[in-house]
Amino acid sequence: MKILKFIIVFLVIQFFIVQLNAQNVNVDTISTANKNFETAKVFESEERYDSAVYYFEKASRLYEQKKIWKKFLQSETEKGFCHRKLKKTGNIEQIKFAIEKVLKYISENDTIIANAYQELAYFYFYKSDYYNTISNWEKSLKINLKEIGEKHFKIAKLNNNIGVVYRNMSKFDLAMKYFIKSNEIKKNLEGNYYAEIANTCENIGRTFYHKKDLDNALENYFEALELRKKLPEENNTGLIFTYQCIASIYIKKNELDTTIKYSLKLLELQKKILGSKHKDLIQTYDLIGETYLTKKNYDSTLFYFNKSLKIRKKKDTKKL
């Protein structure tokens, strides 16, 4: 009898030891997964995306093993973001698989799911699969509206992104609807969103341009110009883009003197920000030269074409 009691006590003790070891292993696994995820985030912030992908992958496997589904999907989504930055667009199936798996265990109305849909949309966008792009951004928008409300920059960005896709599909009225909504939200947010509002103004301007409404296009580009002027000039490449758009519309309207005026402002800015020998100056010199040619001002035409030619020659010499 004593032997039987001893065996029972021994077995109970062994059972608790096994359980305790299992718990310790489980804690160690989760701790390792968390460390991998944190390491990946550091590499991501340093734009060392290959290293970030490696650690997100390690974290993802451990989270999946332990059925920590939100962190598993978050790791897969972050990995997708890094792949996108590396211009590797083959991650669609992995993210789709992760979403489908996680939806069995957590609510669809979760911002982690929304972020995954958002990342998935980018991959479809780069493949020019616009219907799947819109479908996934719309899903993300719907979830985010429920979870964080309309007055949020993320909502404005999603509206802008959807507008870009509709414009690429030549559905200009739908594009305009989303661009206008995006800017309505941005203009009511606290903080400095000059660059972001300017970006959407340019998108609206470009949409009007495609609709051949040049006056409304100019109006929006000038609004963008005033906003970009409020930002530091150093590395303000957005300001360069806005001047390029304005000059291109004036040449389209055949307003030659005004084209030259804004092209010269553009040229001055490009020299300051990019340097006087940058390849982007070729297009500006050519535009000014062609405009002077139309005006039959041949001396100025030759001057600017020669400037363009010098940069082209240096560019070609570097290739050799």
Q: What pLDDT score does 8 carry?
A: 61
Q: Residues 85-99: what's their mean pLDDT? A: 76
Residue 30: partners with Cβ closer than 8 Å, 6 or more residues away? 62, 66, 68
**Among 28, 87, 33, 94, CA closest to 60:** 33
pLDDT-derived band of residue 88, with 50, 70 and 90 as boundaries? confident
pLDDT in tens, 136-184: 999 999 999 999 999 999 999 999 999 999 999 999 999 999 999 999 9
d(CA 92, CA 112): 17
Instruction: Delineate the domains of the chain, giving CATH numbers in brackets.
Output: 31-141 (1.25.40.10), 150-226 (1.25.40.10), 232-315 (1.25.40.10)
Dihedral over Cα of 13, 17, 18, 19: its sign: positive
Q: How many residues would you count in the chain? A: 320
Count the helices and strands in the chain (H runs, E runs): 14, 0
Instruction: Tell me if 172 sits within 8 A of 207, measured CB to CB.
Output: yes
Query: pLDDT higher for 139 or 107?
Result: 139
Q: Averaged over 50-62, what is the pLDDT?
A: 91
Q: Are 164 and 139 in contact (CB under 8 A)?
A: no
pLDDT tens by residue, 237-279: 999 999 999 999 999 999 999 999 999 999 999 999 999 999 9
When comparing pLDDT for 39 and 95, which is higher? 39
pLDDT of residue 91: 65
* Residue 107 in this model has a pLDDT that exceeds 80: no
Which tokens is 224 given? 């963008």
Percentage of the chain exceeding pLDDT 90: 63
| Of the candidate ranges 56-60, 74-78, 92-96, 204-208, the one whose mean pLDDT is the lowest | 92-96
For residues 79 and 102, give the distance between their C-alpha atoms in angstroms, rounded to a whole number: 16
**CA terminus-to-terminus distance, the chain:** 95
Average pLDDT over residues 276-295: 94
- Cα–Cα–Cα angle for 140, 146, 151, nearest 5°? 90
Q: Are the C-beta atoms of 137 and 118 separated by less than 8 Å? A: yes
* Predicted pLDDT of residue 24: 45
Which tops the pLDDT comparison, 214 or 96?
214
Question: 153-168 and 194-210 helices cross at what angle (nearest 10)?
Answer: 20
Choose between 91 and 53: higher pLDDT: 53
The answer on pLDDT for 4 being more than 70 is no
Per-residue model confidence (pLDDT) at position 21: 47
Nearest CA-CA partner of 209 in 240, 252, 178: 252
Task: Say which DSSP state 193 is in.
Answer: -
Average pLDDT, whole number, for the chain? 87
Strands (E), the chain: none
Residue 135 — φ and ψ, nearest 5°? -55, -45
The answer, yes or no, to whether residue 42 has pLDDT greater than 60, is: yes
Cβ neighbours of residue 111 under 8 Å, at least 6 residues apart?
A: 143, 144, 147, 148
Amino acid identity of residue 62, one-letter, is L
Please tell me the predicted confidence (pLDDT) of residue 25. Answer: 41
Reduced to 3 states, what is the DSSP secondary structure of residue 87?
coil
Determine which of 119-123, 157-161, 286-290 has the lowest per-residue pLDDT on average: 119-123
- Residue 202 to residues 77, 187, 221, Cα–Cα distance (Å): 30, 15, 6
